[in-house]
């Protein structure tokens, strides 16, 4: 692997938007009259908006019409937008800016591979949009993680073979997607939860200086 590229997930790797997703979904759960805890919210990480609503309704054991589902999807996103349009660069997670600087210095290209349809807006809010060589988000894919589609499109944007790509992910579905794409996977967060990843770090500050250089020397 003498040439590599990097694919970053967004929520949980570059920023923590899970807390805003939680508040917006909780409002719907409150309206429907059931408890939605932060523990439940873990199940929605890395999962598409539509799938998140299905999981939420399962938690509440609630059945609603297709029409009502559409209404909830719209209102949830409106509430979520209320939070993310206030985001600024100070919400970039520790180590992310430094890691991107290091990749720029070493000439390693990187793209985004996120399930979020709001990914471009979030990257603009935090001032990182122009840094990425390409953006693959929830608008560009037809199949959600753990399907490898999002990362395979990312590899095309990097003009690299899947085996030359390194994926940074915080969700189990994302690590599985990277594995399904036959890419190197790096789990960011709880090592036990992400034990299927090839490498694990609690956060991006823990990624060693020579991490990419060492990967490049492997065959
Ligand atoms: P949106 P990621 C994911 O982002 C979130 O982890 C997940 O909780 C959310 O449901 C999904 O984006 C869709 O987000 O409603 O903005 O389209 O981790 O893939 O960057
Ligand atoms: Mg994520």
Residue appearing with tokens 């180590």: 95
Give 93-118 pLDDT, tens digit per residue. 999 999 999 999 999 999 999 999 99
Look up residue 205 and give its DSSP letter.
Answer: G
Please tell me if the CB atom of residue 40 comes closer than 6 angstroms to any atom of ligand 1. no
Q: What phi and psi values does residue 16 have, to the nearest 5 degrees? A: -110, 85
Substitution candidate for ligand 1 out of 11, 53, 141 with most atoms within 8 A of CB: 11
Statement: the pTM of the whole predicted model exceeds 0.85: yes
pLDDT at 219: 54
The number of the ligand 1 atom at minimal distance from the alpha carbon of 77 is 15
pLDDT at 53: 98
Please tell me if the CB atom of residue 48 comes closer than 6 angstroms to any atom of ligand 1. yes
Spans of the chain below 50 pLDDT = none
Please tell me if the CB atom of residue 46 comes closer than 6 angstroms to any atom of ligand 1. yes
Rounded to 10°, the helix 18-32/66-84 angle is 140
User: Which 3 state secondary structure label does DSSP give 169?
Assistant: strand
pLDDT at 149: 98
Where do the domains of the chain lie, and which CATH numbers do they carry?
Answer: 5-15+89-216 (3.40.50.1000), 18-84 (1.10.150.240)
Q: What residues act catalytically?
A: 9, 11
């Amino acid at each position: 692997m003498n040439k590599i590229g990097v694919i970053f997930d967004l929520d949980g790797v570059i920023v923590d938007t899970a807390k805003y997703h939680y508040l917006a979904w909780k409002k719907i759960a409150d309206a429907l009259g059931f408890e939605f805890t932060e523990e439940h919210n873990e199940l929605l990480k890395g999962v598409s908006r539509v799938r998140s609503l299905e999981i939420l309704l399962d938690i509440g054991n609630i059945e609603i019409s297709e029409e009502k589902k559409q209404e909830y999807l719209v209102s949830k996103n409106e509430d979520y937008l209320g939070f993310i349009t206030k985001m600024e660069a100070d919400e970039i997670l520790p180590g992310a800016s430094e890691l991107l600087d290091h990749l720029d210095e070493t000439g390693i290209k990187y793209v985004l591979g996120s399930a979020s349809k709001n990914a471009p807006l979030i990257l603009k809010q935090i001032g990182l949009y122009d840094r990425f060589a390409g953006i693959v988000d929830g608008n560009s894919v037809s199949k959600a993680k753990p399907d490898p589609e999002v990362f395979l499109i990312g590899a095309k944007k990097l003009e690299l073979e899947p085996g030359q790509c390194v994926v940074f992910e915080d969700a189990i579905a994302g690590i599985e997607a990277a594995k399904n794409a036959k890419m190197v996977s790096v789990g960011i967060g709880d090592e036990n939860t992400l034990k299927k990843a090839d490498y694990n770090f609690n956060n991006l500050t823990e990624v060693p200086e020579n991490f990419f250089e060492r990967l490049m020397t492997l065959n």
